[in-house]
Amino acid sequence: MVEEADLKELPGVGPATADKLIDSEYDSLESIAVATPTELSASADVGEKTANKIINAAREEADIGGFETGNKLLEKREEVSKITTRCDEFDDLLNGGVETQTITELYGEYGSGKTQIAHQLAVSVQLSEEEGGLDSKAVYIDTENSFRPERIKQMSEGLGLDPEEVLDNIFVARAYNSNHQMLLVEKAQELAKDLREEEGKAPKLLVIDSLTSHFRAEFIGRGALAERQQKLNKHLHEVIKFTNLFNATALVTNQVQSNPDSFFGDPTRPIGGNILGHIATFRLYLRKSKGDKRIARLVDSPCIPEGEGIFLIKEEGIRDA
């Protein structure tokens, strides 16, 4: 974070603009450097031309990440591992399971299975590597009060695991609003560091269920859109940091837009818009089918072709159809 004085050194930023920037969470050169002129101009009450100038200057000043050699990246990619969903078709869609160093987004309407999959992964991450897990623990940020220990118990028994032990390895926090939710990701980093020091292992799964509900409820209307996206962007960067620091995976859920204001709008658009689309590496669209049947569709992945898979929600967990 930079002092107000630093922001004022940017061309076009006087004291009043600096205050507005800080109020809208543009409180570091990095956050300004990655902003779009439209967002910044709305938040700081300056013209787009000025916003552009401010962003360019911040880019020159800020350390927004440099270059790494291809080999270094390959080395990092070699550490990537996967967690099974316990459904082969679902795993196949993802080329073997939910990947570490990655954000996976599940979006879909109510009852489509987002929370059930999140529960399943919190259990299967604890399986041994031979069984498709990472022999690890889970951190679970619950924003809708939908975490159910009883479901974890059923799913543990479904895999022949001791429910009490499994529940002991899931750290759950309820997030009461978007600020609290953001703070909890920082807390999760502290928790993971402590566990790594104490036990030699950090949790490999971070769940945020749901990523967007608080943001959606708190930032209403077009005027609040830029601020909401800016905050969500910041939040997601902390989530990415978690996945990189601990070679962990993040699973986030998202509801679909009901689009009351647009008759011709696509009712299957996820909330959160572009920022989330560019950051989540795997996006899965879930929809209901008959009975306990659900369909998952992989949408815009960088390296895997689009495809669909069927999964079931059973008492013992997510299973093959």
**What span, in angstroms and rounded, lies between the C-alpha atoms of 7 and 104?**
34
CB 106, min distance to Mg ion, A = 9
Q: Which two tokens stand for residue 168?
A: 């002991």
Among 115, 181, 230, 249, binds Mg ion (CB under 5 A): 115
Task: Give the residue, chosen from 17, 50, 116, 229, that forms a contact with ligand GTP under the rule CB under 6 A.
Answer: 116
Q: Which is nearer to ligand GTP, 18 or 251 (CB)?
A: 251
Residue 22 vs 299, nearer CB to ligand GTP:
299
Q: SS in 3 state form for the chain?
A: CCCHHHHHCCCCCCHHHHHHHHHCCCCCHHHHHCCCHHHHHHHHCCCHHHHHHHHHHHHHHCCCCCCCCHHHHHHHHHCCCEECCCCHHHHHHCCCCEECCEEEEEEECCCCCHHHHHHHHHHHCCCCCCCCCCCCCEEEEECCCCCCHHHHHHHHHHCCCCHHHHHHCEEEEECCCHHHHHHHHHHHHHHHHHHHHHHCCCCCEEEEECCCHHHHHHCCCHHHHHHHHHHHHHHHHHHHHHHHHCCCEEEEEECECCCCCCCCCCCCCECCHHHHHHHCCEEEEEEECCCCEEEEEEECCCCCCCEEEEEEEECCEEEEC
* Pairing of the two strands 282-288 and 293-299: antiparallel
- Smallest CA-to-CA distance from 187 within 201, 198, 203 is with 203
Q: Does 110 bind ligand GTP (CB under 6 A)?
A: yes
Please report whether residue 314 would count as binding ligand GTP according to CB under 6 A.
yes
112 binding ligand GTP? (CB under 6 A):
yes
Rounded least distance, CB 155 to Mg ion, Å: 15
Q: Binding string to ligand GTP for residues 254 to 273, with x set by CB under 6 A, is what? A: -x------------------
- Window contacting ligand GTP (CB under 6 A); options: 23-31, 79-87, 114-122, 227-235: 114-122
CB 147 → ligand GTP: shortest distance, Å? 10
Give yes or no for residue 86 binding ligand GTP (CB under 6 A).
no
Contact region with Mg ion (CB under 5 A), list: 112-120, 128-136, 150-158, 313-321: 112-120
Rounded to a whole number of angstroms, the minimum distance from the CB of residue 295 to ligand GTP is: 13
Please identify, using beta-carbon distances, which residue of 210 and 233 lies nearer to Mg ion. 210
Cβ-based nearer residue to ligand GTP, 111 or 267: 111
Residues 200-259 that bind ligand GTP (CB under 6 A): 255
How far apart are alpha carbons 231 and 216 in whole angstroms? 12
With CB under 6 A as the contact rule, which of the stretches 15-23, 126-134, 221-229, 311-319 interacts with ligand GTP? 311-319
Positions 142 through 181 that interact with ligand GTP (CB under 6 A): 146
The residue from 111, 149, 267, 307 that contacts ligand GTP (CB under 6 A) is 111
C-beta atoms surrounding 64 within 10 Å? 12
280 binds, among Mg ion, ligand GTP, none (CB under 5 to 8 A by kind): none
Q: How far is the CB of 120 from ligand GTP (least distance, A)?
A: 10
In the complex, the residues that contact ligand GTP under the rule CB under 6 A are: 108, 110-116, 146, 255, 292, 313-315
In the complex, the residues that contact Mg ion under the rule CB under 5 A are: 114-115, 146
